[in-house]
Structure 1
Amino acid sequence: MVKATTRTTDVVELAGVSRTYPGGTAVQALRDVTVSFGAGTFTAVMGPSGSGKSTLLHCAAGLDRPTTGRVRLAGNDIATVREPRLTKIRRAHVGFVFQSFNLIDSLTVWQNVMLPQRLAGRRPDRRWAREVLSRVGLVGREHHRPVQLSGGQQQRVALARALAARPDVIFGDEPTGALDLGTGREVLALLRQSVDEFGAAVVMVTHDPAAAAWADRVVFLADGRLAGELAAPDVEQVTARMTRLTATAAGVR
């Protein structure tokens, strides 16, 4: 696989971010996290269960707000911005690919792909959308509905939907978690392509060392804190690091 080696502008920046969920026993999901993600780079986020991976992704994407700290997305400070403005920023700069696909069953493939641009009040770029559908292997499926597609095809639709809006960053939350090995590799190759050819930043939460090895670097979390990172990772390195982190989280030395 070919990996990008040149880091350019930081698209997402978290500075001193903490997130505490109130309740009978408050849960501190993130603790003073400072990390950034550059355009044209692919970052995997890993850690033991409960380490704060999803919370990091949600705060970075503006889906959740930090308790303290600053988050900048495409040059916009989103930690305190009001929701209507935040929604506009997400629609202008962010694409999402989730494990559960999050497609609208009543819409066709084409309608699902075009929806974010319509919601953003922009005139859809139909030529680019057709190019994206071709890139993800969905030519001829434009008028199918999600129920008529395999899981892998549905994830391709989700990726096409993200790319069609030309986002600065694509956030993936276990995007291959519901796919078989071969289909998962195809989706990872498409995410890699979105970095290398389209210049997007990709930030992907995953538990799979093989998936993380497609990234330029892996950022590790443990107990809500940064626990190091690996550049140009391979499966063995990621597996070894995760084994140590998981053992530490379980209280084993």
Structure 2
Amino acid sequence: MILAQQSRSAPPRDAVVLAEVSKSYPGRAAVRALDRVTVGFTSGSFTAVMGPSGSGKSTLLHCAAGLDRPSEGRVLLAGHDISALREPKLTVVRRAHVGFVFQSFNLVDALSVWDNVLLPQRLAGVRPDEAWAREVLARVGLAGREKARPGELSGGQQQRVALARALAGRPEVIFGDEPTGALDLSTGREVLALLRRFVDEFGATVVMVTHDPAAAAWADRVVFLADGRLAGDLIAPTAAMVSARMVELTR
């Protein structure tokens, strides 16, 4: 959970672990999107996931978040082996520990900003923490816009609503699938700065799929995939370092 403090003497733990995870999609032309991937995402860290088109980035994210089930291997999310869980228990774990930010915002046009932010908690039958929700809206720069509808907001403001919605339930892990992909450069930087802030100030764990080296440079670490397999990582990345590695992977 955001705001939870770890013991100073205890080593940081992994908020998410994929262990020997494979994912195949059956059909006439069977696709093996992930091939025995083992990777951990440290609690309180910001990780970008990158790779060429078709490398398995989104599949990794979906398996890690419990949106898709691996064909083989295990996924541990906040200490829960979600690869062994079935609905509705899987939904309960996701709602308790995970927030999502997607490229397409996924807001409900008929609802106000306030109701969009609180919607996941209400659907879960949980009494929303309205004081925290107001603080989150203030931190993403939307104080005073609670009654606005998504159609009255810019794209950047809509993504801020999506981010506030993801944070309102105090998730341990925030998964982002190209969260800046539909935004202009300046607005994208603002959203990335907010994600960075919630990692640094509140101990959130962010795992973000992106194709943009400049976006990846906001992360503590970049994990690379190629043909469904891990292809190394970078610690404390710069945009130039990420770009150079991506060139290597696409040769």
**Which TM-score applies when normalising by structure 1?**
0.94
- Selected match of 2:182 from 178, 190, 194: 178
Does residue 122 in structure 1 map to residue 126 in structure 2? yes
SS at match of 1:79: helix
User: C-alpha separation between the residues in 2 aligned to 1:190 and 1:230?
Assistant: 22
Mapped to 2, the partners of 1:121 and 1:216 lie a distance apart of 35
What are the Cα deviations for residues 101-137 of structure 1, in whole angstroms up to 9, with x where unaligned?
0011111000000111112221110110000000000
Other-structure match for 2:85: 81
Compute the RMSD of aligned alpha carbons.
Answer: 1.0
Q: How many residues align?
A: 242
User: Do the aligned residues in 2 keep the contact of 1:12 with 1:74 (CA within 8 Å)?
Assistant: yes
Post-superposition Cα deviations, 1:32-67, rounded to whole Å, max 9, x if no partner, equal: 000011111000000000000000000000000000
Task: Report what 2:62 is aligned to.
Answer: 58
Distance 1:9 1:117 in 2: 27
The letter for the 2-side match of 1:105 is D
Provide structure 1 residue ranges, at least 5 long, that are not aligned to the other structure. Answer: 1-5, 248-253
SS at 1:197 equivalent: helix
Check conservation: 1:92, 1:120, Cα contact below 8 A. no
Matched, 1:158 2:170: no
Q: Which residue of 2 aligns with 1:38?
A: 42
| Map of 1:8 onto structure 2 | 12
Structure 2 Cα separation of the partners of residues 157 and 9 of structure 1: 30
- Structure 1 outlier segments of 4+, above 2 Å: none
The one of 104, 107, 119 aligned to 1:103 = 107
Alignment-derived partner of residue 75 in structure 2: 71
1:148 counterpart residue number: 152
Give the letter aligned to residue 27 of structure 2.
G
Paired residue for 2:3? none
Q: Distance in 1 between matches of 2:21 and 2:88?
A: 22
| Whole-Å separation in 2 of the counterparts to 1:246 and 1:97 | 27
Structure 2 unaligned blocks of 5 or more: 1-7
CA distance in 1, matches of 2:33, 2:221: 22
Which stretch has the larger CA shift, 164-173 or 72-81? 72-81
Tell me the secondary structure at the aligned position of residue 132 of structure 1: helix
State percent identity of aligned pairs: 76
Secondary structure, counterpart of 2:250 in structure 1: helix
Query: Which residue is equivalent to 1:251?
Result: none
Query: Which residue does 1:250 correspond to in 2?
Result: none
C-alpha distance in structure 2 between counterparts of 1:183 and 1:174, whole Å: 14
Q: Secondary structure at the match of 1:207?
A: coil
The amino acid across from 1:221 in the alignment is: L
One-letter amino acid of the counterpart of residue 61, structure 2: L
1:244 aligns with 2:248: yes
Displacement of 1:140 in angstroms is 1.3
Secondary structure (helix, strand or coil) at the match of 1:141 reads coil
Q: Distance in 1 between matches of 2:148 and 2:13?
A: 38
Give the superposition deviation at 1:80.
2.4
